[in-house]
Structure 1
Amino acid sequence: MYIVGFENGKTFIIKDNGKIEEIKNREPQIIIVEKLTKEKLEYYNKMSIKILECKDNQDLCLSKVLKILFGRPKSCKFT
């Protein structure tokens, strides 16, 4: 389970089963920024928060984080 935040203050929890829920009053482990700068990198690094640059909409950015953290779901083929 990971806590992911956006610069606008919205915070979500991503569970290992792929479920994403909005939560409040939690410090993120990962922050999603629209544009990564040296200042942001230094600031979040001091707080031990991982950073991901994503210029897409919120849902797509969360999906990208989910794929990075947990990979693609395995599928079974039946013959």
Structure 2
Amino acid sequence: MADQPRRPRTLSDARTEAEAAFKKTTTRVPEAPPKKAALPGVKELVSLRIDQDVLEYFQEGGPGWQDRINDALRKAAGK
């Protein structure tokens, strides 16, 4: 069997192989963020900009104006 002369590796070949091996071990498949379980009756704090006259309309009824806005939004959403 004839020995074939070894072809010397070039720096770029070694670097390419090293980078490929590194990427293979360090690259992760992105995971989807876990979905929040919707619990009935749990409300989420949000910031909402509404017209002043609309806010005054709901606040005129006294305490519970935020619940009244929520009810109006649920009705508008068909829920």
TM-score by length of structure 2 reads 0.25
Larger Rg: 2
Could you say which structure has the higher helix fraction?
A: 2
Q: Which has the higher contact order (CA 8 A, sep 6+)?
A: 1
Q: What's the TM-score, normalizing by structure 1?
A: 0.25
